[in-house]
Structure 1
Amino acid sequence: MRVTVLGGSGAWPAADEPCSGFLLRHEGFSLLVDAGYAVLPRLLELMPAEQLDAVYISHGHPDHCADLNPLLRARALGGADPDPLPVYAPHRALDAVLALDRPGMLDAALARHDFAPGAGFAIGPFELRTALLPHWVPNAAVRVTAGGRSVVYTGDGGPSPALVELARGADALIAEATYPEVMAADDAPYLSTAGQAARQAAEADVGRLVLTHLWSGSEPGEYLDAAARQYDGRIGVATAGLSFDA
């Protein structure tokens, strides 16, 4: 399974870094995991919109799903007439982004699959298992398995035993780390620091930790240092263009 980072900026995109978006490919099948602000242009550098096979959205905040709108517009209006795009998301997570256009405009471009976090299902060659993480809105972390390899992605969420269980023994954990080590008390139940993400990676015994959702414009070295104090495996930062085999 090949993982390509399309973006990893938290909250809003930087000039050279889109928000959350990850392209997973296996056996010719392409799955986009999250579609935050400015992700679509990076995806289009790799493939035409009509060649994408499916989308998974972790939750309904716009830095994780806003570019679903232009993606669906490209498929609906681009002239290639592809099959409807399967999009998997927690119940009601897509309501706001799909309401950006007039009713019915994008219906033919979309095959909507709503689910409750905790569900498991298959998308093409990928087996998915999800878990609810604490966040302001329902957020479905996901474990994606193909070819005997597994990648776990948190979306956003505060520290939780559910993540450790979901990630146990995974080859890679892509973990939200909005702050290096300290955050505001109001955010603490709903987001994670790099140190917290690393502690959970160590507890789950994952093979690689990739920090994502860093506060836009922050210094990645602070996050890497904080994570290295808690986890002695491979650590990286999700930046657009990074690719690795799980």
Structure 2
Amino acid sequence: MRLTVLGGSGAWPTPERACGGFLLEHDGFTVLIDPGYGTMPLVPDRVDAVLVSHGHPDHCADLNPLLRARVLGDREFPPLPVHAPPGALDAVLALDKPRMLAGGYVQHDIEPGRTREVGPFRMEAWSLPHHVPNAGLRLTADGRAFAYTGDTGPAPELVELARDADILLAEATYVGRVPEEDAPYLSTAVQAGRTAAAAGVGRLVLTHLWPGTSPEDAEAAARRHFGGAIG
């Protein structure tokens, strides 16, 4: 199981970093997770399925150019399986008339508590607190486990999601404190470190850093609570 980070900026891309986008590969199968702003140019022809945690555009906007490239380009592609919470992709899919992208994708709802097979992966989902419905995702294959929080506030389910995962990809918009109005819906590097420690994960990867945040500061904050590998 191999994870490639395409970007990790929260809210909007910067000249240095695309928004969240991740490739998870196993046994010749590649899943694109959260195609946020700036991620599509890196992956148009090497994706077998797409998973989207929630409908905010910094997590799914580049699904539109990805589908355009696959439908309108010279090369013929099979319909792309796209998994997301119900309604999460309505806005991005409405950017084009339905007939333009017809046949380019097959949409599947992510349902918390229901297990689904995505290529070689077994996918489980948890409903986690955010401003819009957000699915925490856990993918397992051949005894390896990958967990991803999407964007979420504090929740006891996070430890269950991440339990003994080889990699925990955790939202850490802020370093140590979330502004009060967003505290139920977003997390910090400190909280990510605590979750990783409680869940016994092998490696912690921080994502969704607010633009301008020092990755070194975020890593140092998480390291105060988690003694394993970070990054």
TM beyond 0.5: yes
DSSP-derived class of the 1:181 partner: coil
Percent same amino acid at aligned positions?
60
Residue 42 (1) aligns with residue 37 (2): no
What's 1:212 paired with? 207
Following TM superposition, by how much is the alpha carbon of 1:118 offset from its aligned partner in structure 2, in angstroms?
2.9
Match of 2:146 in 1: 151
How far did residue 130 of structure 1 move? 0.7
217-226 or 11-20: bigger deviation: 217-226
Counterpart code for 1:81: E
Task: For 1:3 and 1:104, locate their aligned partners in 2 and report how far apart those are by CA, in whole Å.
Answer: 34
Aligned-residue Cα RMSD (Å) equals 1.0
Residues paired across the two proteins, number: 231
Which residue of structure 2 lines up, in the alignment, with residue 83 of structure 1? 78
Q: After superposition, what is the alpha-carbon deviation per residue over 1:166-209, rounded to whole angstroms, capped at 9, x for unaligned?
A: 11111110000000001210110000000011111111111111
Quote the Cα distance in structure 1 between the aligned partners of 2:199 and 2:223: 15
**TM-score computed with the length of structure 2 as normaliser:** 0.97
User: Structure 1 stretches of 5 or more lacking a match?
Assistant: 44-48, 237-246
Q: Indicate conservation of the 8 Å contact 1:171/1:207, yes or no.
A: yes
Note if 1:231 corresponds to 2:226: yes
TM-superposed deviation, 1:225? 1.5
How far residue 42 of structure 1 moved from its aligned partner, in angstroms, is 2.3
Q: 2:175 aligns with which of 167, 173, 180?
A: 180
| Greater relative contact order (CA < 8 Å, ≥ 6 in sequence) | 1
The AA in structure 1 aligned to 2:166 is: D
- Residue 122 of structure 2, aligned match among 109, 124, 127: 127
Mapping for residues 7-156 of structure 1, pairs under 5 Å: 7-43=7-43, 49-156=44-151
Gapped runs of 5+ residues in structure 2?
none
Match of 1:203, SS state, is helix
Q: Please give the secondary structure, in 2, of the residue aligned with 1:217.
A: coil
Shift in Å, 1:161: 1.0
TM superposition shift of 1:94: 0.4
Query: Alpha-carbon deviations, 1:26-83, whole Å to 9, x = none?
Result: 111111011000001122xxxxx24411000000000000000000000000121211
Aligned to 2:190: 195
The structural deviation recorded for 1:14 is 0.8
1:115: Cα distance to partner?
A: 2.6
| 3-state secondary structure, aligned to 1:195 | helix
